[in-house]
Amino acid sequence: MNILTEKFNTPYHSAPFNSIKNEDYLPAFKELIQTSEEEINAIVNNSEEPTFENVIEVLAYSGEQLDAVSNIFFNLNSAETSDELQQIAQDVSPILTEYSSKVSQNEALFSKIKKVYDEKEKYNLNEEQQMLLNETYKGFVRSGALLNEEDKEKLKKISMDLSLKSLQFGQNVLASTNNYFKHIINKNDLAGIPEAIIEQYAEEAKERELEGWVITLQYPSYLPLMTYAENRELRKEIALANGKKSFDGGEFDNQNLIKELLQLKQQKAELLGYSTYADYVLEERMAKSPTKVLDFLNELLTKAKPYAEKEIEELKSLAKADGIDEIQGYDHAYYAEKLRKAKYDLNDEELKPYFPLDQVQEAVFGLAKRLFGLTFEERNDIPKYHEDVKVYEVKEIQAGNQQPATNNKALLYVDYFPRKGKRAGAWMTSYKNQYKKDGENSRPHISIVCNFSKPTKDTPSLLTFQEVTTLFHEFGHALHGMLANTQYPTLSGTSVKWDFVELPSQFLENFCYEPEFLKTFAKHYKTGEILPDEKIEKIALSKNFMEGYQTMRQLGFGILDMNFHTKVGELEGKSVKEFEDGYTKATQLYPANPETAMSPSFSHIFQGGYSAGYYSYKWAEVLDADAFQYFKENGIFNPEIAAKYKVLLSSGGTKDPMELYKNFRGSEPKVESLLKRAFG
């Protein structure tokens, strides 16, 4: 018996991690694909007249076990991978892509969907049902259902190639990241770096059975070095190594892969009748067109650049005092930290003792209780995929009810520490979406994955303030998943327009800067002393520190992404580096380094789902600034506004996002809210 092909015999049918063997995956995928095909065939072979219920609804609920196993496998391939899992991914991705293409190009199935769609006026559909019908029909059309047989075959091959090449891109970045380390023998080279970080470097060396200290390109190792190391040559060396990830001409180089991926995306777009891949993507976004996106980004660029240039001038003055005539990109974090300390007397290492991970987690859990009535109880009987992972059962207190919550709202997995098999960064994902079926509201299983510094034998995991905001960011996404309350799994939780998906995450970050809230949890892990008022005030004031620089950085990513996906023809006569430098020049605040390029490790757009969508971070900032302004005007814990916001979160993709936003706010979001927050 293969455990993955049966209904999971675990609490809330959670993923049975402790019973899964790697050899279970491939046979399970093959069997579950067959089962799902039988479900599709049952729809096709049904002799009754096609209706919304026997076609659209049945299709929406199909493939449940296949989805569950796919979620388990691909989430583990990001959070707990191995050579074996990566090989399985290479074997599994083509068969899943082939199955997906087979369904989306099933003419008999599509003819039934089209019949229901063409006759939708005769069904008395509610708003969510109409959305499901529209999204289902569009999904098939955008997957090639209206193409002729020859073009369908072309599209199928393109989709399979894209799947494998994007997977390879991510594996190359991970390998390139893991392959580098800097071994330090002389402690003097680490001057300026806080002792807690040096201890972390010593632990890394010990794990590698080396004397001294080891620095890696993992974020908790890389960033403190760039921020605090007085040794400029060391900063330069590590920055150079980071900038060369998958850009060194070696085994894990991604430059050719980028060109191949972009050509494939362009071919896909043209086959489906779009002039560029960005046009194809943006048809299904709030922004609608590349022109509108580039206008939006360029408007922000014009307004933000003077602020950014002024910030860099301040850093240049500091560097000049140290005898540096021309400041470089690898100097930025070091001098920005010096300036931040001078302006606000804020030092990450001084703040970290006030932000032990457990305390910050309790704070975000408490915020969810205060705003939305959620409670979190650790469960030790639910399987985990690694000993570092914790699982919480989420329950909900109904408004006005003082009794303890008893109803299961969600499961929440948290996985906070770096490992060799975990990709860098932080993300929220799900193992199971929420949906309603046969009178039951089946609740979601959500996961947050981060890369925070591990506790040592003497010290708990202490977060930088940036890491505090990262946890709140991912928890905002998690709330979107946990509060989901829709009929259909395909419209549930974060299944919304991509440029709307960052609203809940970025919105929650705002609370980290509110003195009223900070005072409830920023307490020294040894003494229990509350972070002093002047520090809290400075955190609030420092919110917009280097905002111009950060805005330019994000705009650079967004503009590059949009040009990659609208001007792929230009790449034929250029290197990836030349293309990147050309389209990011207007946003660059430091001299470009001929030895480094960001694109070959730009996983968001070449492995993740942000192709022609990176702008959505800034787009969503307008939404989150406007939404939080509404709270600020009426009290940051205002229960009536929180209740309206909860409706927005729980609605998932059942309504047009602008309609959802206007229902919450009473008006469309204003760019001025972001500019006011960022630059006063």
pLDDT, averaged in runs of 10, over the chain (680 residues): 94 96 96 97 96 97 96 96 94 92 91 96 95 96 92 93 95 96 97 95 96 95 97 98 96 97 98 97 93 94 94 96 96 96 85 96 97 96 96 87 76 96 93 95 97 91 95 98 97 93 95 94 96 91 91 97 97 95 97 96 92 92 95 96 97 95 94 84
User: What is residue 492's predicted lDDT score, i.e. its pLDDT?
Assistant: 96
Which residues are CB-neighbours of 252 under 8 A, at least 6 positions away? 172, 173, 175, 176, 179, 246
What is the model's pLDDT at position 248?
92
**295 SS3 class:** helix
Task: Map tokens 């969907």 to a residue.
Answer: 113
What pLDDT was estimated at residue 671?
82
Chain region(s) in the chain for CATH 1.20.1050.40? 3-104+106-146
- Burial of 145 (C-beta count, 10 Å sphere; 0-12/13-18/19+): buried
Strand partners, 213: 184
Residue 244's alpha-carbon distances to 133, 290, 379, 550, in angstroms, are: 46, 30, 43, 21
Distance, in Å, from the CA atom of 567 to the CA atom of 266, rounded to the nearest integer, reads 9
- Catalytic site residues? 474
pLDDT at 401: 61
Give domain 3-104+106-146's CATH number out of 3.30.70.3420, 3.40.50.2000, 3.30.365.10, 1.20.1050.40.
1.20.1050.40
In residues, how long is the chain? 680
Pairing relationship of beta strands 213-216 and 427-432 according to DSSP bridges = unpaired
What is d(CA 125, CA 488) in angstroms, rounded to the nearest whole number? 14
Q: How far apart are CA 67 and CA 315, in angstroms?
A: 50
pTM score:
0.82
Tell me the residue type at 272.
Answer: L
C-alpha 237/C-alpha 401 separation (Å) is: 59
Tell me what percent of the chain is helix, strand and coil, each rounded to the nearest 5: 60, 5, 30
Nearest to 174 by CA among 240, 70, 76, 78: 78
Q: Which of 40, 38, 68 has its CA nearest to residue 136?
A: 40
- Angle of helix 149-179 versus helix 83-104 axis, rounded to 10: 160
Tokens found for residue 250: 């070696």
- Phi/psi for 408 (5° steps) reads -70, 125
* DSSP string over 76-145: HHHHS--HHHHHHHHHHHHHHHHHHHHHHT-HHHHHHHHHHHHTGGGS---HHHHHHHHHHHHHHHHTTT
Q: Which two tokens stand for residue 441?
A: 């509201």
Name the DSSP class of 322.
Answer: T
The whole-number pLDDT of residue 518 equals 95
Q: Which tokens belong to 585? A: 């020049």
Gap between the terminal Cα atoms of the chain: 63
Angle at Cα 490 formed by Cα 485 and Cα 493, nearest 5°? 40
Task: Mark 71-83 as b/e (b = at least 16 C-beta within 10 Å).
Answer: bbbbbbbbbbbee
8 Å CB contact between 80 and 422: yes
At residue 433, φ and ψ (nearest 5 deg) are -85, 160
Instruction: Provide the pLDDT for residue 402.
Output: 62
